Structure 1
Amino acid sequence: MIETSFFNRDLSWLKFNERILMEAERNTVPLLERIKFLSIFSSNLDEFYRVRMPVLLALQKLSNKEDNDIQFDENLLSTANQLISDQQQRYGKVLKESLIPQLKENKINLIYGQPFPGEIKKSLSRYFLSQVMAFLQPVYINTDTDFFPSNNELYFLVTFRKDGEDETVVLNIPSNQLPRFYKVETDQETFIVFLDDIVRFHLDKIFPGAEITGCFSFKVTRDAEIDLKDEYSGSLSEQLEKQLLKRDLGFATRFLHQPGIPANVFELLKKVFNLKKANRIAGGQYHNLKDFMAFPVNIPKLSNQNWPKLCNTDVIEGSLTEAIYKNDIIVHTPYQSYDSILRFFNEAAIDADVREIYITLYRVASDSKIVNALISAAKNGKKVTVLVELKARFDEANNIKWAKKMKEVGIDIIYSVTALKVHAKVALVKRQVGDRMRYSGLFSTGNFNESTAAFYTDHILMTANKEMLREVELLFIFLAKRVKPSSSDLIKFEHLLVAQFNLQQVFLNLIDREIEHAKQGKPASITIKMNNLEEKVLINKLYEASVAGVKIDLIVRSICRLVPGVEGMSDNIKITRIVDRYLEHGRIFIFHNLGKNDVYLGSADWMNRNIYRRIEVCFPIYNEEIKQEILDIIAIQKQDNVQAVCIDEHMDNVPVEITGPPIASQEGIYQLLKNKK
């Protein structure tokens, strides 16, 4: 047995966020797109502090107790904090030394930690007095103050002296009610001003007659975990609604503040805000720079070239359902239009022959056209069954809202059991044709969500394969029982790979087959694209395959615990990470099988949660033309030498060496599909 090793999942995640930062640092990326990457980096880091930092703090605490055997690297927290600190330094450097000067060259002045130019002061004062002032709520702080800073909202800590008394006040920066940036245009230039600075500039209007001695920005990030009982008791939606109200009351995991807060004031805040467990981090003057996503400038030459959505030529005219009956159809978002997916549900909603509709919903758009089609279908007399996953993190409230609306019109709503999420992306339509029931359906690598389909790369298969769709029907029958899978009642899936049933074992068997081929001296290879790679059983099987001589290409966007390029363990494994204008999201699994190329797509990453705590569905591609299209797409991604980096044995993002013509895979895929006949 080979001795194996694994990257730490949290450090790997931070390395992925570093890859996002690298795009902001690249001069070849259009200026406004670089600013968006700064926004994505900041948003990701906030989520890390909300979701992962509480876990690390809890593990550290538990590992210090004598009565358990939890293994925790005592250097992990300090290593993570150092990585974050280094990345924040790079963030500030690229913003101040590169992006702001380039904006200036384009007559756009981002006022960043500097006085306001005289020509815009009157405009800013009018805006403050007429708009901003209405949302300000100063709170005076002392040892008896009962004040709870909201999660990730912006505040000023203001100290001043008035009438011989020293005062400490927390003042909100109302960025949830007003735009974070205010734009002032003159004849010559455009000025972009932070809402924070508009408030700071007018402190004399908020505290008249006071001598301002200090003004420091800060925010508090809180634990986002929701605590639900393992056993189902009462209404899951009611439990979740109660817990959602508590989410923003979680303990503080980070107190991010502008440097310079006096020591005595800091001690007061620690007590009043209950910051004992929080990482207290001195940052810059501005926080929540995820708001850069709404940077109020739109200049085409400073943005990505527009790629109009492509139409899938298989579904332009006639009945979509009839087209699916004739042949499988695949849609690749966001390169191809999502309209055909919306059309699938719209046709089903009004088709007099449709009897039943089934669908899983994990994250849906806030104004979901798909859910509205389902509501219309129910009103049109069809039986509609929807599995709504209420526990989709940060989408719980939206999912609860839609579940209530669907229930009101008689749609059968299934909720997953508390300790098991349903992450599968499947839909089934049953249509009465004469004395026969005909099936059509969708299998997707991503959510049924027209909003995210605009920038997530996913693959949606439309099929009338009755064997596959009957297995979907069996899955819905099982899910409606609201029980956890057990060995006594497992469904035998012959086509689909379903987590909790057969998914892990089938993947292990497919890898074993490549191992046997390699041992026999035959060609053997595996190519896998996914978002996250963590689960040790499957990683160890890939290590075993590498030792046997199987050539393995992995395209892993985010967390990756597999260590590549280690002699005698993983020297036949190459890992690349692609970051570009679209979020790489589709999961693709290709097993060479002596040139036959067994291809699966699906919803499942290889993470502990996906393998052991979720219902996932991966599905085979039987149509040879579609299979070749998937192989062509992956071939382009494997050749990417512009947007791809290699993950090395030290977990670093190493740019791919350009030895031939430059290939940016997303542009290549767009051109491939554009030229599709």
Structure 2
Amino acid sequence: MVKSEEITTTVSLHNSQYYFNRELSWIEFNRRVLHEALDRRTPLLERLKFTAIFSSNLDEYFMVRVAFLKEQVEAQLSQRTPDGLTPEQQLKAIAQILHPMVTQQHQHFEQVLRLEMAFNGIHILNYTDLSLEQRDYLQNIFIQRIFPVLTPLVVDPSHPFPRMANLSLNLGVVVKDPVTEKAKFAKVKVPNILPRFLEIPQDLQAQTSQEIHWMGVPIEQVIAHNLEALFPGMIVQEYHLFRLTRKADLAVAKAEADDLLLAIQQELRRRHFRGSVVRLEIQPSMPESVRQILLSEMELTESDIYELDGLLNLKDLMSFQDLPLPELKDPPWTPVIPPQLHDCSPAIQTTKANKLEKTENIFAKIQQNDLLVHHPYESFSASVEEFIAQAASDPHVLAIKMTLYRSCGDAEIFQSLMAAAETGKQVAVVVELKARFDEENNINWAQKLEKSGIHVVYGLLGLKTHTKIVLVVRREGASIRRYVHIGTGNYNPQTAKLYTDLGLFSCRENLGADLTDLFNYLTGYAYQPCYRKLLVSPANMRDRIIALIRREIEHCHNGKPGRIIAKMNSLVDPQIVTSLYAASQAGVEINLIVRGICCLRPGVAGISENIRVISIIGRFLEHSRLFHFHNHGQDEVYIGSADWTPSNLDRRVEAVTPVEDPKISQTLQDILEIMLADNRQAWELQTDGTYIQRHPRKHEPERSSQKILMEIWQSFR
């Protein structure tokens, strides 16, 4: 450890050489996702899943981040990021890195995964390899189910180049008029409302000694080999598959609050067709003539084109997760009922009449002690949903307030909230309409909630409401008690099965008072710059975090040890990065667990040699935010919704809570130590920006933190 007195030179911690680029760091995160698809230790169908996730991640990256950079270039903005790159330089670097990476993904699927699928009885066939009987079957499917949905669009003087939907898969077709002998270009969209892969029935499957679990072809090949039906009287000369990506971020930040719902609804209707095209995916067989038509009409450059062998849009491989082949998947995991809530959950209590019954309500449990829940190891439905359900049905509960960022169509939470409003309880919900790519779902639920009598607020002008909080106000005798849930993840039962998240239940008076002030800020005009316990952005969070870092620096200056462990999704904020560099220089030991983007450069002599950064990529998406400050043995632990990024600290409403129960604090510290010891799913960030995956040393057991945590919670069943 480097002590502060050993620092003899003064350097600028803002120097661009000490920062990684945000956009390029994200690409390195997605490279780690791709590695899971390449890693033979990962079960086959999980490798297909990670292949699909890699593609899905890239779609959003182009729709939002690349589109944003292109807009900056078009506006002739040259402002440099902390690492010193202009928007144009970033776009060039992105293309240089992504082209070979995407090529690697597609080659691996075609040359490795596709063969392993066939070896395991899963056959994606090419149409040209089908028997006559199989072709006849698919031709009938085409006529009956596909043909009526298709709309061929030709390009000529009376038919301008058609607008094409974002992320659409299309066939570019060249047809010739046999009378005029003139060739024309046409477009046929592959309908995304139909399955991407069409299965061949068992009685038509090829006879092999191996058991066949699935056999079929991509739908675009069926369409391509029946194009004559779409262009009767014309000669189909050639066809070529392509896929386009448009800018898809909503431009409604300046909308007036009264018009926000309408503005977003209108923007959603235009988003699929209006945004500028930012990427074009094609197959190498596309001739230059067709290529130039697409480049010209979509106003793209050569660097925007991605030539890919084989199937396009590999995120559709996710559909193979539905195959009943458990031996090709990760072992199933069923979340456990939190031990402290066993007698509060109706799932395990029955009466003689076979009706569900609870022996004790959840509020009595929270009165005894703060409660921690850890998803997906522990059940979301038996904790968070049960908390809100009991609040809705409890006659002593007067009010329920909560925030919703990413919702779910079948969430029990909505039914509980509407039931509470119908019984006369005061229910207020802050719905974030600008939750990216969940806007339409949130709008639908916001309107349903309003119709049921719930007070629905659409957040604050210029800020996204990203915090995950619930406040329940309950009458107990002659007094009022406030119960809170403060979490790191969305109130979404689907993602709660896939994302690692933490939640704290408490009835501490200071937390209840803080959430009351925060909800008043969100629903009214009561701006609150100070809070008793909570770290809230944009009010005080960055200043409080920097103060906690500086306190560790002071301990080191006073000859005491300093230590920080922080887990988050992204670390971007320059002020916090600079503070961490200063802490490292002072001798503070810093361990960062950053799943995705990390702009901090570790291991730089005299700057950051006391900082270690790892990223954990596994079957669950690491989503929890957890912060530990040693404080000379008086440990302080925090959980909440915010990453250390400018967007979280300046442009979103976030809440981070201290964990004051000693047992819970120790549990969270233990979780962090398990993650820091991971030698299976952990990747270490190097000084040059690359990541190296850890492997067990000789005679060392394999330690997957997610597997260890599953084993721990399994013991509570």
TM-score of the superposed pair, with normalisation by structure 2? 0.90
User: Which residue of structure 2 aligns with residue 151 of structure 1?
Assistant: 166
CA distance in 1, matches of 2:264, 2:190: 29
Q: Could you give the per-residue CA deviations for residues 24-44 of structure 1, whole angstroms, max 9, x where no partner exists?
A: 000000000000000000001
Could you tell me how far 1:88 is from its partner in structure 2?
1.1
User: Which residue of structure 2 aligns with residue 55 of structure 1?
Assistant: 68
Pair 1:346–1:233, CA change in 2 (3 A):
closer
CA distance in 2, matches of 1:452, 1:71: 35
1:105 to 97, 119, 124: 119
3-state DSSP of counterpart to 1:214: strand
CA distance in 2, matches of 1:324, 1:574: 37
Letter in 2 for 1:91: Q
Letter in 1 for 2:428: T
Pair 1:440–1:64, CA change in 2 (3 A):
closer
Letter in 1 for 2:11: I
Is it true that 1:529 corresponds to 2:570 in the alignment? no
CA distance in 2, matches of 1:112, 1:289: 16
User: Which residue of structure 1 aligns with residue 6 of structure 2?
Assistant: none
Q: Could you give the per-residue CA deviations for residues 325-344 of structure 1, whole angstroms, max 9, x where no partner exists?
A: 11111111111111221111
CA distance in 2, matches of 1:250, 1:629: 47
Pair 1:64–1:473, CA change in 2 (3 A):
closer
CA distance in 1, matches of 2:296, 2:88: 27
User: Which residue of structure 2 aligns with residue 475 of structure 1?
Assistant: 518
User: Which residue of structure 1 aligns with residue 437 of structure 2?
Assistant: 394
Q: Could you give the per-residue CA deviations for residues 291-329 of structure 1, whole angstroms, max 9, x where no partner exists?
A: 111125331111001122211111121211211111111
Q: Could you give the per-residue CA deviations for residues 377-414 of structure 1, whole angstroms, max 9, x where no partner exists?
A: 00011000111111111111111111111111221122
CA distance in 1, matches of 2:239, 2:573: 47
Is it true that 1:227 corresponds to 2:265 in the alignment? no
2:48 to 22, 35, 43: 35
CA distance in 1, matches of 2:52, 2:133: 29
Q: Is the 8 A contact 1:228 1:418 kept in 2?
A: no
Q: Is the 8 A contact 1:253 1:279 kept in 2?
A: yes
Pair 1:251–1:482, CA change in 2 (3 A):
farther
1:382 to 425, 436, 442: 425
Pair 1:192–1:630, CA change in 2 (3 A):
farther
1:365 to 405, 408, 412: 408
Is it true that 1:283 corresponds to 2:296 in the alignment? no
Pairs aligned (count): 669
CA distance in 2, matches of 1:650, 1:629: 34
Is it true that 1:408 corresponds to 2:451 in the alignment? yes
Q: Is the 8 A contact 2:69 2:88 kept in 1?
A: no
Could you tell me how far 1:286 is from its partner in structure 2?
2.6
Could you tell me how far 1:518 is from its partner in structure 2?
1.7
1:259-658 to structure 2, matched below 5 A, reads: 259-273=284-298, 275=300, 279-295=304-320, 297-317=323-343, 318-339=360-381, 340-481=383-524, 490-658=528-696
Pair 1:524–1:392, CA change in 2 (3 A):
same
Identity percentage of aligned residues: 33
Q: Please say which of residues 449-458 and 256-265 is displaced more in the overlay.
A: 256-265
3-state DSSP of counterpart to 2:448: helix
Pair 1:300–1:117, CA change in 2 (3 A):
farther
Is it true that 1:115 corresponds to 2:129 in the alignment? yes
Q: Is the 8 A contact 1:38 1:289 kept in 2?
A: yes
1:661 to 686, 701, 705: 701
Q: Is the 8 A contact 2:601 2:687 kept in 1?
A: yes
Is it true that 1:206 corresponds to 2:206 in the alignment? no
Q: Could you give the per-residue CA deviations for residues 256-300 of structure 1, whole angstroms, max 9, x where no partner exists?
A: 222343444444444544557992333334322111111253311
Q: Could you give the per-residue CA deviations for residues 184-226 of structure 1, whole angstroms, max 9, x where no partner exists?
A: 2335433131111111222233334544322111122111122
Letter in 2 for 1:443: I
3-state DSSP of counterpart to 2:614: strand
User: Which residue of structure 2 aligns with residue 486 of structure 1?
Assistant: none
Q: Is the 8 A contact 2:33 2:617 kept in 1?
A: yes
Q: Please say which of residues 414-423 and 561-570 is displaced more in the overlay.
A: 414-423
Letter in 1 for 2:144: S
Q: Is the 8 A contact 2:471 2:516 kept in 1?
A: yes
3-state DSSP of counterpart to 2:263: helix
Q: Please say which of residues 119-128 and 362-371 is displaced more in the overlay.
A: 119-128
Q: Please say which of residues 127-136 and 151-160 is displaced more in the overlay.
A: 127-136
CA distance in 2, matches of 1:229, 1:100: 44
3-state DSSP of counterpart to 2:188: strand
Letter in 2 for 1:40: I
Pair 1:234–1:278, CA change in 2 (3 A):
farther
CA distance in 2, matches of 1:113, 1:622: 63
3-state DSSP of counterpart to 2:258: coil
Could you tell me how far 1:582 is from its partner in structure 2?
0.6
Q: Please say which of residues 343-352 and 113-122 is displaced more in the overlay.
A: 113-122
TM-score of the superposed pair, with normalisation by structure 1? 0.95
CA distance in 1, matches of 2:555, 2:474: 44
Letter in 2 for 1:152: L
Q: Could you give the per-residue CA deviations for residues 525-582 of structure 1, whole angstroms, max 9, x where no partner exists?
A: 1000000110000010001111111111111111110011111111111111111111
CA distance in 1, matches of 2:680, 2:133: 43
CA distance in 1, matches of 2:256, 2:305: 38
User: Which residue of structure 1 aligns with residue 347 of structure 2?
Assistant: none
The Cα RMSD (Å) is 2.1
CA distance in 1, matches of 2:137, 2:590: 60
CA distance in 1, matches of 2:89, 2:253: 33
Q: Please say which of residues 439-448 and 74-83 is displaced more in the overlay.
A: 74-83
Unmatched runs of 5 consecutive residues or more in structure 1: 484-488
Is it true that 1:197 corresponds to 2:221 in the alignment? yes
